Amino acid sequence: AAKESVHHTVQFYLDHVHQRVDAFRLEHDLQAALEKEEFVLEYQPRITVADGKVTGVEALVRWEHPERGRISPLEFIPIAEETGYILPLSSWIMEEAFSQWSKWKEDGMELQMAVNLSVRQIEEEQFIDRVEALLGKYQVPPASIEFEITESVLMYHLETSLQAVRELRRIGCRVALDDFGTGYSSLNYLKTIPADVVKIDRSFMKEIPDNAQDTAIVETIIRLASVLNMDVIAEGVETDRMLSFLKEQHCFGAQGYYISRPVPPQDIPELTQSTGQE
């Protein structure tokens, strides 16, 4: 038994070392990944629930690692945030998304484009100037861009966030509260943050319409948003039943695997032409 336990301890230690080495390697590879053009953006369509039409997309970054294949943003965004590498990466993401917007516009599609924000990005003094410069460069109307800010960012950086939100809206962009309902004081953010859109976190959607509590919560968020004149978008819509529920509740928008997974940009035109879920 003692031998077993020593073995376990050693194994535990080795696992730990491997994880550290792993994170270190990723951090190292991240530095070169932009130049090597290993990042790509995918776009997840979202529909207006009332007519089932695709009216917008959310830009989501992916890392195509030459040896490891595709790495999830959940894995590399935190490392990029820690190392500060998120700054050049976020600039690239914005530029790529805006440039894609104008390509679609040339093809006659005017979509709402949602872009996720990182806290390091909004802390930068030149943030707003940069957004304005890029909007100008790609001739994107500010109202076509919706910046998503998560509740966890609001929770830890309320002052910075508030200022960024105000400035973004001053230049005409839209702002969405992302992962709504996951923070310590969601209702308070609804009151203090002048956002245009609320995105209901997908943890509330999982058991809709079977779970009575979740159902009541989602209904309430939808009504609250409507009273406050905000658009509400449900994330994580994975079934026909979820979408029917959202229709009954007059939810404004929906996004999730049932509608479409995130896809490469060339797949978007076809998805906007189909009549949706009718």
Q: Restricting to residues 126-185, which ones interact with ligand C2E according to CB under 6 A?
A: 178-179
Nearer to ligand C2E, 29 or 178 (CB): 178
Q: What is the largest CA-CA distance in the chain?
A: 71
Closest approach, Cβ 224 to ligand C2E, in A, equals 20
Shorter beta-carbon distance to ligand C2E: residue 256 or 276: 256
Distances (CA, A) of 24 to 33, 66, 83, 134, 193: 14, 17, 11, 33, 37
For position 29 contacting Ca ion by CB under 5 A, the verdict is: no
Site for ligand C2E in 205-244 (CB under 6 A): 236-238
Using CB under 6 A as the binding rule, whether residue 100 contacts ligand C2E is answered as: no
Residue 156's binding partner among ligand C2E, Ca ion, none (Cβ under 5 to 8 angstroms by kind) is: none
Query: Mask 40-79, x = binds ligand C2E (CB under 6 A)?
Result: ----x--------------xxx----------xxx--x--
β-bridge partners, 148: 116, 176
148 is an interface residue for Ca ion by CB under 5 A: yes
Residue 93 binding result from ligand C2E, Ca ion, none, given CB thresholds of 5 to 8 Å by partner type? ligand C2E
Q: Two tokens at 120?
A: 């390091």
Which distant-in-sequence residues (6+ apart) come within 8 Å of 253 by Cβ?
46, 47, 48, 49, 55, 56, 231, 232, 233, 234
Q: Peptide bond preceding 73: is omega within 30 degrees of 0, i.e. cis?
A: no
**Residue 34 backbone dihedrals phi, psi, to 5 degrees:** -65, -50
Cβ proximity to ligand C2E, 59 vs 173, nearer residue = 59
CA-to-CA separations, 44 to 60, 98, 128, 272, in angstroms, rounded: 8, 15, 25, 11
> Residue 29 or 120: which CB sits closer to Ca ion?
120
Residue 146, interface with Ca ion (CB under 5 A)?
no
Nearest partner of 236 among 263, 198, 205, judged by Cα: 205
Residues forming contacts to ligand C2E in the complex (CB under 6 A) are 44, 59-61, 72-74, 77, 93, 116, 118, 178-179, 202, 236-238, 256-257, 262
